Amino acid sequence: MMAGRLNHKIAVVTGGAMGIGRAITERFVKEGAKVVVADVNEKSGQAFTDKLDNAYFYQLDVSSESNWRELFAWVLDKFGKIDVLVNNAGIAIMSDIAHTSLDDWQKVIDVNLTGVFLGTKHGILNMQAHGGSIINMSSLAGLVGDPNAAAYTASKGGVRLLTKSAATYGAQFNIRVNSVHPGVTETPILKGIPQAQKENIINQTPLRRMAQPQEIANMVLYLASDESSYSTGSEFIVDGGTTA
């Protein structure tokens, strides 16, 4: 086998059926990992992994604790260990605080924050014997307030500090936990955002364009690999200079 940056590693990527998670999965496989794509969307996830060697689909709703227990039992049975977990699945509902219903608030918090809590908790429980790396997908919106996404911003800010709490706990087991903060990235999640708002975002970005999913995957690869062995509890910003 060619020397890869993730040779012999077993990874789980939530939300791996589309967008950034799909790019992460492709990159991980290229670097020698076996990757479980854990996603609610069975049709896309299965079709994607059917065409990719060393990628496996498992249907999971990140907000269900029983789903997480079943996923890790399956992974340990099939592969014997878990080295890398990427809590990437997320949803966006674009509304300001005055127009966010309690129902929408709960939906976003359930997937984006409770989902990352459950994944990180069970990831740590299943990595304790040999260490590992957990990467939590936050956002630019987890660093600065976005007026048009109240619940989303709150969920991503929560991910940022949950990551730091988990990192300080996980360190005793050599489990590293870091967050990644992408700027606006060209994926299906953007379909609800009006063109004028996208142009506005691009104008506020020093590099004058959106990110491609592969550019986020490159950062996640670094954090998954042993190259980042001294980084934990940190936030990694990939935003084209927006917060500079």
CA distance 177 to 87: 11
Q: Which of 15, 157, 158, 170 binds ligand NAI (CB under 6 A)?
A: 15
Give the C-alpha separation, 136 to 153, whole Å.
15
Residue 112's contacts (CB-CB under 8 Å, 6 or more residues apart) are 90, 91, 152, 155, 156, 158, 159
Residues 195-224 that bind ligand NAI (CB under 6 A): none
Question: CB of 209: closest distance to ligand NAI in angstroms?
Answer: 12
Map the footprint of ligand NAI across residues 147-176, applying CB under 6 A. none
| Residue 152 to residue 176: CA distance in whole angstroms | 25
41 touches ligand NAI (CB under 6 A): yes
Burial class (CB in 10 A: 0-12, 13-18, 19+), 203: exposed
CA distance 158 to 142: 8
Active site residues: 152
**Site for ligand NAI contains 135 (CB under 6 A):** no
Query: Which position among 6, 36, 89, 224 is part of the footprint of ligand NAI (CB under 6 A)?
Result: 89
Q: Which is nearer to ligand NAI, 138 or 228 (CB)?
A: 138
**119 scored as a contact of ligand NAI (CB under 6 A):** no
Which residues form the interface with ligand NAI (CB under 6 A)?
14-15, 17-21, 39-41, 60-63, 88-92, 111, 115, 137, 139, 182, 184-185, 187-190
